[in-house]
Amino acid sequence: MNIAGSVAVVTGAARGIGLAIARWLAAGGAKVVLGDVLAEDVERAAAAIRDAGGEAIAVAADVTRDDDVARLMDAAVERFGAIHVVCANAGIARDGLLLERDAATGKIARVLATEDFRAVVEVNLVGSFLTFREAARRMADNGWQGVLIVISSVNRCGPPGQLNYASTKAAVALWPKLLAGELHWCGIRGIRVVGIAPGYTGTDALRSVDPPALESLLRDVPLGRLVAPEEIASAVAHVIENEAIHGTTLEVTGGATYGPWQRAK
C-alpha cells in the first residue's frame, strides 16, 4: 500500500503523537484529515501542513460523540473522496490510585474519582471504538482498502496509578487480533487492523515533567531516552506500506516494556 495518494484520518491530531503522524503522512503524499476536540489548535496544525506543501483539512470533533465522529469521516469522503488510513490516536490520562491512605490516621483519605475513570474510558476506549466503526463501515461499503491503526501504550502493562489509562490501552491492544478475525469471518477483505504501542514519548506533556522525575523514568528505558514522536509516525508509515502487518500490536518503546526488574545493579 502506498502512502502517496491515500486519504488518512488521524484523531487527536492537534498536538503530540497525532500531529507527528499527520505531518509524516502528509510529507509522504497522503491527504490528511486532522480531527481533534481542540478546534483552534487543530486548525493551526492543518494550516501548517498546507503551508509546508501538504494536503490537509481540520475537523473539530469529540471522539466520544457518535455524530462528531460520523461528521469527521464524512468530511474525509466529501473533501478527498475516500478513506484508506485511520489512526485512532485521541486519548487522555487522569492518573490516580484506587485508594490512598491518610499518613496520620491510616484510614482511606482519597479514592480514584468515578468521573476520572469514566472520562478516560470514554475518550480512549469508546472514542477509539467509534472511530474504527465509522471508518470501517464506510471503507467496507465503498470497497476502499486500507488499514485501521489504534494507538495503545507501553503502560498497558499496568503501572500503579493508571488503573483507568492502562485498562483502556490493554483493551485496544487486543483489538487488532479480534477485529482481524471479525473482518475475515464477515468476508471483508482488504481492511487491516494494527495497534502501535508507544513507549515514553517526547511530547510536550512528558517533556514538561520535572527533570529528576523524568530521569528516574528513563532509568527503566534501555534506549536511554524518550521515544521521538516522529519515530512513532515512522512506525505508522511502515505499517501502512507493509500489507503483511495485520492483526497484531507493535511495540515502539525503546525497550521500556522489560521493566525495572532488569535494571543493572
Residues with active-site annotation? 165
Could you tell me how many residues make up the chain? Answer: 265
Angle between helical axes of 16-27 and 229-241 (0-180°, round to 10): 50
**SS3 state at 92:** coil
Q: Are strands 99-101 and 108-111 parallel, antiparallel or unpaired?
A: antiparallel
- β-pair partners for 110: 100
Give kind and range of the element (H or E) at residue 205. Answer: helix 204-207
Q: Which residue in 102, 22, 24 sits closest to 58, CA to CA?
A: 22
Place of cell 492518573: 95
Q: Which residue in 135, 180, 171 sits closest to 153, CA to CA?
A: 171
